[in-house]
Amino acid sequence: MYESHFGLREPPFSLTPDTDYYFSYADHQEALNVLLVALRMGEGFLKITGEVGTGKTLICRKLLNILSDEGVVTAYIPNPYLTPSALRYCLAEELGVDYPMNIGGHRALQLINKQLIALKASGHQVILLLDEAQALPEETLEAIRLLTNLETEKSKLLQVVLFGQPELDEHLNRPSVRQLKQRITFSHAIHPLDRDGCEGYLYHRLSVAGYRGDKLFDIKAMEWLCRGSRGIPRLINILAHKAMLAAYGEGKTAIDKYHVKRAIDDTEDAFFLPGRFSRLWQMLFNRRSTPALRGGS
């Protein structure tokens, strides 16, 4: 709608996880590095957590692209709210296994194991990626643990990466799934963007979309955008899009704080922390991520 008005080639703030718009923010890059290093080391279970909208799915898609370029066989399950049998079926389908629906769980594991051995023999690494892993039922978590029992004398036949909201950690703290938790060898928690990260993220997306002009958001507009979004990339996308619509509607080619304020007022999960909370805001947005490599969960 407003692309030509602002000199853009395409919409810059789509909510779909397009890897062309991946922003190499330090915290996100550390998460990606954790995954790549640990997977290349042959670790069996990895975990990435973050609040809603912080970019977990985009990191997952970026990882899938990198692994594909390296010839790794991947199985991606975006919605893991599945029964154990449904999970095994999805995995078998992703691996190209002829899987009759009426066979039992034991026979299904045999077929999957046979395919994993064949892939290993041909020099392929196999990785299962589960997005929204906080939705995994407990019995399905146990089924995943059993899948990672499939191994040779020297290495795992299947590695698993869990992407989930912080509720995933709560699930893994239950005594009934402690065996799985003990197998998570590396993990990383994604945090919201800080002030510089917000601005870098915004102009990175604008640049990818073709913007070549001067600063589109003035200083106050950027402050309101960063604070109103709490540094959450999805909210930055929503607020920036609405603010640009507001400016476009007025025929203006720059965004001020009033355009962002209108966007915040129109977005349920966005709010502007008033001045008396500025110290709290600095604490929230200047947090740095945990070290890139951590053992355990």
Kindly indicate the confidence band of residue 286, based on its pLDDT and cuts at 50, 70 and 90: low
109 and 249 housed in the same domain: no
Q: pLDDT tens digits for 211-270?
A: 999 999 999 999 999 999 999 999 999 999 999 999 999 999 999 999 999 999 999 888
* Residue 203 forms part of a structural domain: yes
* Residue 158 forms part of a structural domain: yes
Domain count, the chain: 2
Q: Are 113 and 121 in contact (CB under 8 A)?
A: no
108 and 81 housed in the same domain: yes
Any residues with CB less than 8 A from the CB of 63 and at least 6 apart, and which?
32, 35, 36, 129, 161
* Residue 295 forms part of a structural domain: no
* Residue 7 forms part of a structural domain: no
Q: Between 240 and 290, name the one with better pLDDT.
A: 240
Q: What separation in angstroms does the CA of 21 have from each of 18, 50, 101, 200?
A: 6, 19, 39, 12
154 and 248 housed in the same domain: no
62 and 151 housed in the same domain: yes
Q: Is the pLDDT of residue 193 over 70?
A: yes
pLDDT for the residue 109: 85
144 and 103 housed in the same domain: yes
Q: Which of 171, 132, 170 is nearest to 52 (CA)?
A: 132
Q: Which of 201, 205, 148 is nearest to 179 (CA)?
A: 148
- Last residue within a domain, chosen from 139, 159, 190: 190
* Residue 291 forms part of a structural domain: no
39 and 158 housed in the same domain: yes
155 and 244 housed in the same domain: no
Q: Are 158 and 146 in contact (CB under 8 A)?
A: no
- Last residue within a domain, chosen from 155, 190, 225: 190
Q: Are 54 and 232 in contact (CB under 8 A)?
A: yes
CATH number (domain holding residue 164):
3.40.50.300
C-alpha 173: how far from its chain's center?
A: 21
- Last residue within a domain, chosen from 190, 214, 239: 190
Q: What is the pTM of this model?
A: 0.86
Q: Are 243 and 221 in contact (CB under 8 A)?
A: yes
Q: What is the secondary structure of 94-119 as a DSSP string?
A: HTT----TTS-HHHHHHHHHHHHHHH
224 and 164 housed in the same domain: no
Q: Give me the domain span that covers residue 147.
A: 26-190
* Residue 143 forms part of a structural domain: yes
30 and 155 housed in the same domain: yes
165 and 180 housed in the same domain: yes
* Residue 18 forms part of a structural domain: no
What are the backbone dihedrals phi and psi of residue 129, each rounded to the nearest 5 degrees, phi first? -115, 125
CA 168/CA 136 separation, integer angstroms: 9
